[in-house]
Amino acid sequence: MEISRLVDETVSTWHQERPDLDFEHMGAMLRLNALVQAASSKIRIITEAHGLTMGEFDVLATLRRHGVDSKLTPSYIAEVAMVSPSGLTHRLAQLEKSGYITRIADDSDRRSSFITITSSGAALAEIIIEVIVEQSNQLYGSLSGDNLESFTRVVSILTEQVENSTNQITATQ
Could you report the per-residue pLDDT of 82-102, keeping only the tens digit for each?
Answer: 888 888 999 999 999 999 999
116 and 86 together in one domain: yes
Instruction: Give me the number of domains the chain comprises.
Output: 3
Please report the pLDDT score of residue 167 as a whole number: 66
28 and 45 together in one domain: yes
Q: Which 8-state DSSP code applies to residue 112?
A: -
Residue 169 pLDDT > 90: no
42 and 77 together in one domain: no
57 and 119 together in one domain: yes
135 and 57 together in one domain: yes
- Measured CA to CA, the distance from residue 125 to residue 57 in angstroms comes to 7
74 and 132 together in one domain: yes
37 and 1 together in one domain: yes
The CATH number given to whatever domain includes residue 58 is 1.10.10.10
Q: Which domain, by its residues, includes 161? A: 144-173
26 and 39 together in one domain: yes
9 and 42 together in one domain: yes
What share of the chain in percent tops pLDDT 90?
Answer: 67
Between 111 and 92, whose confidence is greater?
A: 92
Of all helices (H) and strands (E), which one includes residue 93? helix 85-97
27 and 96 together in one domain: no
- Measured CA to CA, the distance from residue 132 to residue 134 in angstroms comes to 5
Which region holds residue 92: left if phi is over 0, alpha if psi is between -120 and 50, else beta? alpha
Residue 72 pLDDT > 70: yes
- Measured CA to CA, the distance from residue 108 to residue 80 in angstroms comes to 23
